[in-house]
Structure 1
Amino acid sequence: MRTALDAPAGMLDESERDFVEKIREHGWFDTAVFGDAEGPSFSFTSGFWVNTGQPELIMFGMKREIVHDVFWGLFRGAKAGEALPKGKATDKAFANLPAYSFPVAKRFYPEYLGWSQWFYGGNEFPCLQIVWPDRDGIFPWQQGFDPTFSSDQPDLTENGWLAALTS
């Protein structure tokens, strides 16, 4: 698989070289986007797919430090061959609460995964959205989810979280 890791350094600008160097050094890079009137904050990875064979990750509405720690733990797990289950509750993301992961529809890649698209030269990489519950452990698709958090995690699946759940 060809990536920006294969590009001659002279072909990259300073920010691109820095991005690639971080992936060479750590195996992945975390891009953080601040929230604003257009949408919530989010972070996503680049490098998981090429270095572990596991999907890239995206998570919304959490503090950057927490997301970064979660991504590090999941990267270590991916290096050890552990995959996040899709559409099932898991304790692999957070120590004290469950999470779900769902495949991100390719139609959302341009809006949310720009650096990963650049790194891979297109959309030929998988990505999972990690979804967290409210303070009572209720997920956005469940009855009783705290509406305070309703705009913190957009649904990036192809047909909705409910359709992506597996038993």
Structure 2
Amino acid sequence: MRTALNAPPNTLDEDEQSFVAKIREHGWFRTGVLGDDDGPGFSFTTGLFVNTGQPELLIFSMKDRIAHDVFWDLYRDAKDGRSLPVGRRTEAVFGNAPAYAFRIAKEHYRDLLGWSRWFYGGDVFPCLQIVWPDREGRFPWEEDFADEFAGLQKDMTESGWKNELAD
């Protein structure tokens, strides 16, 4: 697979060279995007797919430090051959709460995954959205999900979280 890792350094600007260097050094990179009037902030990875064969990851409304730690753990798992179950409840993401992973629809890549799209030269990579529960362990599609968390995660699936559950 051709990626920005294959680009001659003299064809990349300073930011691109730095980005590629971090992926070479660590195997992946986390990009953080601030929230605004259009939606909540989020973090996503670049490099997991090319270096582990596992999908890139995205998570909404998580503090940068926590998102980074979660992504590191999942990168290590991917390097060891462990993958996230798609559409199934899992305890493999957080130490103290369940999570779900869902495929992000390609139609959302342009708005969400700029650096990853640049790195891979388009939308030729898979990406999963990690969805977290409220304090009571309920997810956004479940009855009585806490109002205080409503709107902190956007559904980026093809047909809606509830329709993509494999449980």
Give, in whole Å, the separation in 1 of the partners of 2:37 and 2:107.
22
Shift of 1:123: 0.3
**Identity score, percent:** 60
Q: Give the structure-2-normalised TM-score.
A: 0.99
Q: Identify the residue that residue 112 of structure 1 maps to in structure 2.
A: 112
Q: Identify the residue that residue 52 of structure 1 maps to in structure 2.
A: 52
The number of residues matched between the two structures is 167
Q: Identify the residue that residue 63 of structure 2 maps to in structure 1.
A: 63
Q: Aligned to 1:32, what secondary structure does the other structure show?
A: strand
Following TM superposition, the consecutive aligned residue runs of length 4 or more in structure 1 with deviations greater than 3 angstroms are none
Shift of 1:72: 0.1
1:48-67 deviations in Å (ceiling 9; x for gaps): 00000000000001111110
Q: Identify the residue that residue 9 of structure 2 maps to in structure 1.
A: 9
Shift of 1:17: 0.3
Q: Aligned to 2:51, what secondary structure does the other structure show?
A: helix
1:161 aligns with 2:164: no
Q: CA RMSD in A?
A: 0.5
Give, in whole Å, the separation in 2 of the partners of 1:29 and 1:131.
20
Shift of 1:138: 0.5
Give, in whole Å, the separation in 2 of the partners of 1:145 and 1:29.
32
| Amino acid across the alignment from 2:46 | S
User: What are the within-5 Å matches in structure 2 for residues 110-149 of structure 1?
Assistant: 110-149=110-149
Shift of 1:149: 1.0
Shift of 1:159: 0.2
